[in-house]
Amino acid sequence: MPTLLHAVGQALYMASAMGWEILWGLILGFALSAVVDVMVSKAELQRLLPDNSPASVTRASFLGAASSSCSYAAVAIARSIFRKGGDFTAAMAFQFASTNLVIELGILLVALMGWSFGAAEFVGGPLMIALLVVFFRLMLRPRMVDAARAQAERGVRGKMEGHAGMATMAKRGSWRQRLTSGEGWTAISHFFAMNWSMLWKDIAIGLLISGTLGALVPASFWQALFFADNPVLSRLWGPVVGPLIAVASFTCSIGNVPLAAVLWNGGISFGGVTAFIFGDLIILPILNIYRKYYGWRMSLFLTSTFYVAMVVAALAVEALFGLFGWIPSVRHADIGQAAFSWNYTTVLNALALALAGWLYARYRRTGGPAMMRAMEGGDSGDVGHEHDSGHEHGHHA
């Protein structure tokens, strides 16, 4: 029993230490994401994404990168785009960018693992989207799209659809006016709270899984799993197994970053880490949502093409970064060994918590909780409808 209690305590300590290390990055990322959400209007996505041309896919990628990083909300918005006449391929490009090219993911990767991992996501993400477009043009048949649209029109409820509806509300005035008005900062506080409400469970689960694996699983297990003693095989195997580990972890988006650090320290290849982060869109709960949204056939098509795109993009990133010497030579991602000491992380966390406290107080004062309750119990149909932006976001409920 003492040994078990010690093991549990060690796992909880490592999870909380990793949470402390990334706290300022999470708060900063969510705050910047909220600012971008207010600046960038995504209310008429279906009009902006009429086909799978390079222009539409590029717009989809930029608009996705300007969204929040919640995979469930991204999937719900993508269905809304498709239902309202947007192109299916462009909607999927938006979905990928929404989870792999967002600000908070980059900040968190750099803070916990180093600049090269953040850069890998922003190099690999567009490559993965390009591969996806090629696969869809080669293999996606019109009858499959028609069947998926018929299923999507049924409006079967998924997850985070109310939150996705808020993300696509119409916005009034220029971006400068929105950022310099009281209503704009109220909206920022609401988006900030919404981002936390969507992702805190995934973040907590990711930290607990990472803490448990980091504290209890011996290094020899990871090294054997990732063929760490065979550099060539390891580079090929990492991108193949990375998304499969993501499927098994059940966490999505930025909740996977702490576990990515554990896997990197354990011996997975650089491309394997990249593929693992990409894997948030094929975790089991989201695969079930694809089935509900688009039917079994399209769900299987998405799963297979997404997986292949992740693997190929990660292999390409591994080769490119290796060519330029950008892959770290030391496996020492910060997973909490030196946590809870007086250092720059403590100062950054204190400043970030002050910012979070101010935004949360504004959210409470301006009807945020009532709005959040209305979204969580909201309509399961069209989450992409526009709202009148002439009032503060707290009044939309």
Q: DSSP 3-state helix, strand, coil percentages of the chain (rounded to 5)?
A: 75, 0, 25
Structure tokens that stand for 132 in this block? 């996806």
Q: Is residue 231 part of a domain?
A: yes
The residue type of 73 is: A
Is the pLDDT confidence value at 134 over 90? yes
Domain containing 50: what range?
22-379
Q: Is residue 270 part of a domain?
A: yes
d(CA 303, CA 281): 9
The residue type of 290 is: Y
* Sign of the CA dihedral with 65 first, then 66, 71, and 75 last: negative
Buried residues in 137-170 as b, exposed as e (16+ CB within 10 A): eeebeeebbebbbebbeebbebbbbbbbbbbbbe
Q: Is residue 392 part of a domain?
A: no
Is the pLDDT confidence value at 390 over 60? no
Q: Is residue 76 part of a domain?
A: yes
Alpha-helical regions (H) of 66-216: 71-83, 88-100, 103-113, 115-139, 142-152, 161-167, 175-179, 182-216
Q: Is residue 390 part of a domain?
A: no
Kindly list the distances between the CA atom of residue 108 and the CA atoms of 14, 16, 307, 339, 348, in Å, as whole numbers in the listed order.
17, 16, 24, 16, 13
Q: Is residue 362 part of a domain?
A: yes
d(CA 314, CA 260): 14
* Sign of the CA dihedral with 361 first, then 365, 369, and 374 last: negative
pLDDT tens figures, 57-90: 998 898 888 776 678 878 888 888 888 888 999 9
Q: Is residue 159 part of a domain?
A: yes
User: What does the pLDDT average to over 297-324?
Assistant: 96
Q: What is the pTM of this model?
A: 0.78
Number of domains the chain contains: 1
Q: Is residue 97 part of a domain?
A: yes
Of the listed ranges 34-43, 79-88, 236-245, the one predicted with least confidence: 34-43
